[in-house]
Chains A and B, each alone.
Chain A
Amino acid sequence: MTLTVREALLAFRRAPLLSALSVTTIAFSLFVLGLFGLVAVNLRQALRSVAERVEIVAYVLPGTPIETVTLAEQDIEAFPEVLSADYVSEDSALGRARRELVEFRDLLREMERNPLPASIEVKLKPGYQDATHVNAVADRLRGFAFVDDVRYGRDWVEKLDRLRGLAAAVGVVVGAAFAIVAVIIIGTTIRMAVLQRSREIAIMRLVGATDGFIRRPFLLQGALKGLLGGLAAVALSYAAYVLINRFLIASSFFTSLQALGVVLFGTVIGLMGSLLSVGRHLRRV
């Protein structure tokens, strides 16, 4: 075991240029993947905050007793899709309109009778903010006798649905493409390291080293390169994030779990790349 570690570390010292090249290549491949990941993370967050605004408003018939509405409110809150249901009385609707619709302030003040109906505003839980669930809840709300009308911007919700589907598909395809390119580049770099040491491998075999023994230092070395590359990629992505935040738009960075994922992914790719390259080489010679 100690020999494996020593040989793996010695490889960095014996071929510093090639090792640095491998780490840099892995770092930049993962950096590109990381940048894409940042875009995906931010896009998802943006979509989530838009989705949070999905709201269903059930207008209450004038003259409905407040007790009926309060009871119904409790029933609605018990729906599995529903996060909250809030009653907005005629007066508070008017108050809100005066605050928010500044242009009509004078008009609203001069009105003798409040024209705005009372309503129940229903917010949905995350994961239920798509067209199917919104429609289902709206239908159930229409079932209440005191409900006059239900509004929720059907087109808008359906568009959001399509946008989400598109973002997910693009994310999977582009992410997979970047990941494949990263694996190929990393595999090639490690193959170079293996070829550079082919003489050593041949001698090891001649003196009776087992294939497992020959493979181990390469695997460790590959994993180390992947780990260093992954760390560098996270650092580069962070730098990019800081710059984007300062000069372009406010965005968010990976959670520590996601950053750990990038590093882990680099390590696994390094390991897999070595495994494939060394395995192929050992089968050939």
Chain B
Amino acid sequence: MIKFTNVFKTYAKGGLALKDVSFHIAKGEFAFLTGHSGAGKSTVLKLIYADEHPSSGEVRVSGYDVTGMRAHEVPHLRRRLGIVFQDFRLLEDRTAEENVAFALEVTGARRSAIPARVMRVLTQVGLAAKAGAYPRELSGGEQQRVAIARALVNEPQVLLADEPTGNLDERATRGVFQLLRDINASGTAVVMATHDLELVRSAPYRVIELQDGAVVYDSAVDESAAGETPA
């Protein structure tokens, strides 16, 4: 599903962002990307959704080779992914429903099918009752649920979440995390970048830890090598 093989990434000004990163995330898996700020979590996610290209090595996502990907192929890759950010990235002048529908409209979905699909995902994230509300009328947790609904509406194979609970209080964090677990339970792979270790420890998922751009720990590799059962 997602495969990094000896990936290096250097920025012209910022130096080396990733050093020899290799991992494989299988279909339907839930994986945490952890590490301090600047460790390279966001760079890994950007490489997955082809916002960046590796300086060397190979990145394969959902059958696409991101390494030498041409600009016109990028939208097609992104339609197979759902992406969620810490700052929600909702359009302020559109309602929750319109924000979600937007993702379908811009990818050329059949118009008659849009309302039903939008309501289905809004129900899934528990916001059907607030479909007509504007982002400013919603709490942080609710806004992130709208963002997740928008990410889900195209039925992605992978959901990428970059610090999705970074701006939320504890209760909202738990709610959003539970939602991501439910989404994963229904078969969608989830890659979640976070530095919330408490959250990481609370669930039995794979952990890939980055430090200064290198993978220093991967529970799937290290724990099986040590002969331990994954936590």
Contacts and interface: CB of A to CB of B under 8 A. Distances in A.
Nearest to B49: A206
Interface string A186-224: 000000000000011011111111110110000000000
B127 interface: no
Contact of A208 (B76, B91, B93): B76
Contacts of A209: 75, 106-107
Contact of B103 (A200, A207, A211): A207
Given A3-B105, A211-B71, A213-B106, A206 B79 contact: no
Contacts of B93: 14
A98 to B, nearest CB: 83
A208 B78 contact: yes
Contacts of B77: 208
Contact of A203 (B71, B75, B76, B89): B89
Interface size bucket, A side?
A: 10 to 19
B188 interface: no
Contacts of A2: 111
A14 B111 CA distance: 22
Contacts of A204: 102, 106
B72 interface: yes
Contacts of A3: 105-106
Contact of A210 (B72, B83, B102): B72
Interface in B84-120: 89, 91, 93, 102-103, 105-108, 111
Interface string A108-145: 00000000000000000000000000000000000000
A199 B75 contact: no
Nearest to A203: B89
Contacts of A213: 106, 108
Contacts of B72: 210-211
B41 interface: no
Interface centre among A3, A200, A207 (most CB of B within 10 A): A207
A200 B91 contact: yes
A28 B14 CA distance: 46
Contact of B154 (A200, A208, A211): A208
Contacts of A203: 89, 91, 102
A208 B83 CA distance: 10
Contacts of B111: 2
A200 B89 CA distance: 9
Nearest to A282: B71
B145 interface: no
B53 interface: no
Contacts of B102: 203-204, 207
Nearest to A7: B105
23 contacts: A3-B105, A3-B106, A199-B91, A200-B91, A202-B89, A204-B106, A205-B75, A205-B78, A206-B49, A206-B78, A206-B83, A206-B89, A207-B78, A207-B83, A207-B107, A207-B154, A208-B77, A208-B106, A209-B75, A209-B106, A209-B107, A210-B75, A211-B72
Interface of B: 49, 71-72, 75-79, 83, 89, 91, 93, 102-103, 105-108, 111, 150, 154
